[in-house]
Structure 1
Amino acid sequence: MAEPRPGLVLRFQRRFLAARPLRSLPWPELEQRLRSAPDPALLVDILHKLESIAAEPLDELYEALADVLKEEESTHCYKNYLLPTGDCVSLSESTALISGGTTGLVTWEAALLLAHWALQNPAVFRDRTILELGSGIGFTGIAICKTCQPRTFIFSDCHPRVLRQLGENIRLNGFIPEPDPCSIQPECQGQELEGDNCQNTKVIVAELDWGSVTQEQLLALRADVVIAADVVYDPEIILALTGMLQKLSTCRADRRAPEVFIASTVRNPDTYQLFQAELDKAGIRWQMIPAQSSCNFLYDVQPDVTILQLFI
């Protein structure tokens, strides 16, 4: 049975906005639909969807594209991820997987899955202080800020270039970063957004080095929930990550330990098993959260993306 027209059109729109590769667009379904029942209106719907995101008529968009192709290839592009609420997360991303000596300038699939899970479980984040480790360019955190109503969201990373891009993306989505209360070298202190702050959530960007952060600094963050996506990819950083999680477990003072959720794409099973082994060695219990059957952001679903809940 052919896919209904609205669903097929929406898939085209979502993939186009997120700058997915052309091969990921649903060409086979479109061809099957047109062969089984020629429907020119379907193509018109798709063109209208694409035209609706441009400020000018589609012909002028094609002319602008031609001009761009004549220029030097850009190292960055803009991607737009549609949220179920109808809102959108807009990001400036690197066109290369590794740029400036870091992989943190692109959005990885584990970040998409973690955001999808968060949107399905907003009560975990509502009116709470969230600390995100290895925020990268900000997709997961921005999606949570726009939909889950956290009281405070602390984006953190340690790479200067990533922090700069992260700050730009936060402002691009209408948030004003505030000074970091625990003096972990906030990237966005004193900077202002052109326009109005569109959310009530307090947003902070902090430089956070897992190997050197102190228990006092972590205590000052007063995090209720800690999240991270695609931070388990290198054996060399697993010890630093586990050590920081141990500091979080011992710096709670009279407060409850934060809830911890870490999403990972299992590229190397040995590395992932090493992380689980180090958690066991540190006395940190963990359990796997059941996989989601579908994801609004994972257009090409990968079966090897998992979420662990840690009990520190």
Structure 2
Amino acid sequence: MAGPGQELGLRFQRHFLAARPLRSMPWEHESTAADPLDELYDALGRILNEEESTRCYRNYLLPSGEPVTLCESVAIISQGTTGLVTWDAALHLAEWAAENPAVFSDRTVLELGSGVGFTGLAICKTCNPKTYIFSDYHHCVLKQLTENIRLNGFALEPEATDPARAESPGQEAEGKKYQQPKLIVAELDWGSVTEKQLLGLQADVVIAADVVYDPEVTLSLIGMLQKFSTLSADRKPSEIYIALTVRNPDTYHWFQAELDKAGIRWQTIPAHSSNIFLHDTQPNVTILQLFM
């Protein structure tokens, strides 16, 4: 069993690797009777004196101890999009997935609005999907998403069929314990995507996180989701899960009302018990399962 000093050190490590704000760091070393590490304070001093960058690297540690490494923007809005940062709903959805791996195991998963890729990369490393389709629309987001996928040692189709990449770092060379899924990055415009395009993706599971925040965007999302209902006659309906942070109750209730108006049934998924990724301990995040 880890002592108080070791436990505090592990907590500090997780906060530091995830690039959490300094004010959120666990600074309670005095309560453990442990001597502070001079090298740590020297390192923090150097960081504080560094010139500010527009990007940072975050390492989110999975329960296995393996990281999901992401290059993200340091600004909430960057290059005209909010898709270059990881939001709390994405962390919650990944935690729920880790507690419910059977939903994703050996199945084709389509993620809407993947952003920089956190949720998908966490699911690929913990839930063994057969195929994972990351999707977004903004060109800067798609570029950063692709870089982050490669940063975590995955190959993208058709690169995955290239023998030269079969032993790339982070795959067999490091002895991954999970099966390599087939990974695809797709440019998906909710407003113009067709039923034929969605059918071609053959998604067993559809997920999204923090995509309900703007009425126009939300209506495009609902319009696209309705297209999944036209596919149900030809194949088993996709399971659909939407994680959202309830920042404004009116927006949340409006979203539910629009789902009802579109004939999309929904239910709230019970809250999960884990807090793996150091998000706000009391965020108002809800996961809805939708039924076409």
Displacement of 1:4: 3.2
**Does 1:195 find its partner at 2:168?**
yes
Distance between the aligned counterparts of 1:93 and 1:168, measured in 2? Answer: 11
Listed one character per residue, the Cα deviations across residues 35-91 of structure 1 (whole Å, up to 9, x for unaligned) are xxx233xx45x97xx7xxxxxxx97x679748x72x4x2100100000001111000
Of residues 18-27 and 145-154 in structure 1, the stretch that sits farther from structure 2 once superposed is 18-27
* TM-fit CA distance, 1:145: 0.4
**CA distances 1:252-309 after superposition (whole Å, capped 9, x unpaired):** 3431111011100111111111111111111111111112233101342133111111
- Equivalent in the alignment of 1:241: 221
Unpaired runs of 5+ in structure 1? 51-57, 181-187
8 Å CA contact retained: 1:24, 1:300? no
> 1:271 and 2:266 equivalent?
no
TM-score for the superposition, normalised by structure 2: 0.89
Contact 2:5 2:29 in 1 (8 A): no
Whole-angstrom distance in 2 between the partners of 1:165 and 1:103:
13
Matches within 5 A, 1:1-312: 4-27=4-27, 29-31=28-30, 33-34=31-32, 38-40=33-35, 43=36, 65=47, 69=50, 71=51, 73-179=52-158, 195-196=168-169, 198=171, 200-312=180-292
Cα distance in 2 for residues equivalent to 1:234 and 1:272: 11
The range that moved more, 298-307 or 118-127, is: 298-307
Mean Cα deviation higher: 79-88 or 251-260: 251-260
Letter in 2 for 1:14: R
**2-structure distance, mates of 1:141, 1:272:** 24
Q: Match of 1:24, as an amino acid? A: S
Q: For the structure 1 residues 64 and 298, does the alpha-carbon distance in structure 2 shift closer, same or farther, using more than 3 Å as the test?
A: closer
Aligned partner letter, 1:139: F
C-alpha displacement at 1:11, in angstroms?
1.3
Structure 1 outlier segments of 4+, above 6 Å: none
Q: Deviations over 1:139-160 (max 9, x none)?
A: 0000000111000000000000
Q: Which of structures 1 and 2 has the larger relative contact order (alpha carbons within 8 angstroms, sep 6+)?
A: 2
Root-mean-square deviation over aligned CA pairs: 2.6
Q: Output the TM-score relative to the length of structure 1.
A: 0.83
Q: 1:119 to 1:258 in 2, by over 3 A?
A: same
